[in-house]
């Protein structure tokens, strides 16, 4: 069996992945707060952990892997949108409008992530569906002396958990100095965090022993992971395999999850491996609305950037390194994917190349896996006369292990049905003449016009090939 190695944020080193039960490999990843469209940075953990999910399914069998990714649908921004709609005269109660907004944004999210080739997880729980388990966990933490009620709130007592800060490697003093800590008179310690807070009559809320209110953010994931992945396990086995998310969640969210979960289930480990992806930049700068480089996944899709291209760009950088989205990378990815799709047209997957599997197994080295795919493609293209059915099938299966070259994502690569042979011959003649005269101005002019019309230009010793892409515009070629 393939050995998987992952960088474990918990131990700060790369470790061999040894599942608790190879017949029941379990992974939990923090999902989105569904108040609006997912921006491009939100897509990185989706693609990273979708790729890990595919690898785990390949190694252990699809039926032996459970992947949970939640939706946080308890949020002030969701409430604000619902309130504004109600004030504008929308039908329904506030709770119904909150539900409507959550349904709307979840549908957007799943559609946009599906366009990137992401498989849907085994379970996608909503926080609002697990209020009762959250209340039960909070009651248990109070009973064990790890939480306390104060002025309608319930707070986790950080001092009660000696290992607090181990994941992020920070002391409590450092955390206070380096973070925005909410100062409140009812807190015993500035770092104590909210498990339950009161709701006004104008906001959604649930009944609880501490009054009508709603859960804090951190308790949601602890309760959902416990309920879905560990519910029926004995106390000394209350653990699962992998917990993932962006490294911006390491503190305070994941730190707080560990504290409350390990205090609720002191004989378990909660999660054995913690995997965090780095953040995303755009053209070398931090993405922000003030810089004008903030955009959603839907913005890119609507601009004609194929979801498969977005995925390819993301996979080109190791998940543990900052990733830079650039237009040039997108253009290069699109050209590569077009060639790869043409190369394996008509082939059926026959099992991935072991070198690709090994690259992914080495801490999700997606860049290394793509390098191997480039080498395979080059070898197949260099031997067109060879009966390479198997090689093409292995290439296709290897790409699909990365979530690429699936039939579902291929519509964008279909070529327009247009005859460009005359223009190809004309460009070839111009190139031949330029090789003699050393004046390539006419070649450059023709090539520029073709590219501007959405034509892919392939020039090699064998000749000139022109392919009309999805953005092909015949009108732009009239002058030629």
What pLDDT is recorded for position 417? Answer: 62
* Region for residue 406 given its phi and psi (left: phi exceeds 0; alpha: psi -120 to 50; beta: otherwise): beta
Tokens of 101: 């907004």
Are 284 and 291 contacting, i.e. CB atoms less than 8 angstroms apart?
Answer: no
What pLDDT is recorded for position 175? Answer: 65
State the 10-residue block means of pLDDT for the chain, 480 residues long: 96 97 98 93 97 98 98 89 86 85 94 97 97 98 98 95 91 62 81 94 90 95 97 92 96 96 95 97 85 89 94 98 94 94 90 97 98 94 71 95 94 74 88 89 88 83 77 78
What is the DSSP secondary structure assignment for residue 123, as one 8-state letter? Answer: B
What pLDDT is recorded for position 97? Answer: 84
What is the spatial distance between Cα 310 and Cα 417, in angstroms, rounded to a whole number? Answer: 26
What pLDDT is recorded for position 278? Answer: 96
Instruction: Tell me the CA distances in angstroms from 256 to 3, 261, 343, 349, 454, one per residue in order.
Output: 31, 8, 49, 44, 51
Give the torsion sign (CA, 394, 354, 322, 32): positive
What pLDDT is recorded for position 452? Answer: 86
What is the DSSP secondary structure assignment for residue 91, as one 8-state letter? Answer: S
What is the spatial distance between Cα 193 and Cα 138, in angstroms, rounded to a whole number? Answer: 12
What pLDDT is recorded for position 177? Answer: 58
């Amino acid at each position: 069996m393939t050995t998987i190695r992952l960088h474990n944020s918990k131990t700060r080193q790369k470790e061999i992945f040894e599942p608790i039960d190879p017949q029941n490999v379990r992974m939990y990843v923090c999902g989105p707060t569904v108040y609006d469209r997912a921006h491009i940075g939100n897509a990185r953990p989706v693609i990273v952990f979708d790729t890990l999910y595919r690898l785990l399914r390949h190694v252990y069998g699809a039926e032996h892997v459970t992947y949970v990714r939640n939706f946080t649908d308890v949020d002030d921004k969701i409430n604000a949108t619902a309130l504004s709609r109600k004030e504008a005269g929308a039908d329904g109660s506030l709770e119904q409008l909150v539900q409507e907004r959550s349904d709307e944004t979840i549908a957007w999210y799943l559609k946009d992530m599906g366009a990137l080739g992401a498989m849907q997880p085994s379970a996608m729980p909503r926080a609002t569906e697990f209020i009762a388990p959250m209340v039960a966990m909070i009651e248990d933490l109070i009973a064990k002396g790890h939480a306390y009620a104060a002025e309608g709130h319930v707070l986790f007592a950080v001092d009660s958990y000696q290992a607090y800060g181990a994941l992020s490697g920070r002391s409590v003093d450092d955390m206070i100095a380096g973070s925005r800590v909410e100062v409140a008179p009812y807190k015993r310690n500035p770092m104590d965090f909210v498990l339950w807070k009161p709701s006004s009559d104008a906001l959604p809320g649930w009944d609880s022993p501490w009054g009508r209110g709603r859960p804090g953010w951190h308790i949601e994931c602890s309760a959902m992971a416990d309920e879905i992945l560990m519910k029926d396990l004995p106390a000394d086995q209350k653990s699962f395999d992998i917990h993932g998310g962006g490294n911006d969640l390491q503190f305070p969210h994941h730190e707080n999850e560990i504290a409350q979960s390990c205090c609720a289930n002191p004989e378990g480990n909660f999660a054995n491996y913690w995997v965090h992806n780095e953040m995303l930049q755009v053209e070398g700068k931090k993405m922000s609305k003030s810089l004008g480089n903030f955009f959603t996944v839907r913005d890119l899709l609507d601009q004609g950037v194929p979801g498969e291209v977005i995925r390819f760009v993301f996979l080109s950088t190791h998940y543990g390194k900052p990733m830079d989205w650039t237009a040039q990378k997108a253009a290069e990815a699109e050209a590569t994917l077009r060639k790869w799709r043409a190369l394996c047209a008509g082939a059926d997957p026959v099992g991935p190349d072991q070198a690709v599997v090994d690259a992914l197994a080495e801490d999700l080295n997606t860049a290394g896996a793509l390098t191997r795919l480039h080498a395979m493609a080059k070898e197949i293209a260099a031997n067109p006369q060879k009966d390479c059915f198997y090689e093409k099938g292995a290439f296709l299966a290897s790409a699909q292990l990365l979530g690429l070259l699936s039939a579902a994502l291929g519509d964008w690569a279909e070529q327009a049905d247009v005859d460009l042979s005359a223009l190809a011959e004309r460009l070839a003649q111009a190139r031949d003449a330029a090789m003699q005269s050393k004046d390539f101005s006419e070649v450059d002019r023709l090539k520029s016009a073709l590219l501007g019309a959405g034509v892919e230009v392939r020039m090699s010793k064998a000749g000139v090939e022109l392919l009309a892409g999805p953005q092909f515009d015949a009108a732009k070629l009239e002058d030629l």
